[in-house]
Amino acid sequence: MKETTTSSSAPSRKALSKIACNRLQKELGECQLSPPQVPSIKPPIASNGTVIEANGASGTIYANETYQLQVVFPEHYLTEAPQVNFAPPAPLHPHIYSDGNICSAETIGD
């Protein structure tokens, strides 16, 4: 898993609050002690975007594929969810749009 911080031409976002930074550091520590079965996030985590490389799950049509996810943590992380999108090329999946946006649970089945 490779993670890098990116800069973009998008408008700059406000910095994460101290509470949000502390929470992300705590979550990172927990991931390092007990790695999840899904991709993990490694430092640095930046409010302007973190790119996470994830490998497709073995035994699926996504096996042996590597995908990049753009994760943006909002200023009020903890009460607001991070934005997560696939960087092009996005995997072909009914809940992932061609631009990399992930279908929310509220729109599944509409």
pLDDT at site 29: 81
Task: For residue 33, give the 3-state DSSP assignment.
Answer: helix
- Catalytic member of 103, 105, 108, 109: 103
Dump pLDDT digits (tens) for 3-40.
444 444 444 556 778 888 888 888 878 877 876 665 54
- Sequence-distant (≥ 6) Cβ neighbours of residue 64 within 8 angstroms: 55, 56
Please state the pTM of the whole predicted model.
0.58
Is 100 a domain residue? no
Is 18 a domain residue? yes
Task: Report how far residue 24's alpha carbon sits from residue 106's, in angstroms, rounded to the nearest whole number.
Answer: 26
Is 61 a domain residue? yes
Is 105 a domain residue? no
**CA angle 11-12-18, nearest 5°?**
150
* CATH number of domain containing 26: 3.10.110.10
Dump pLDDT digits (tens) for 26-79.
887 887 787 666 554 545 555 567 777 888 888 888 888 888 888 888 888 888
Is 52 a domain residue? yes
Is 30 a domain residue? yes
User: How many domains would you assign to the chain?
Assistant: 1
Domain that holds residue 45: 3-86
pLDDT at site 108: 52
Is 21 a domain residue? yes
Give me the residues paired with residue 84 across strands: 71
Is 107 a domain residue? no
31 has catalytic annotation: no
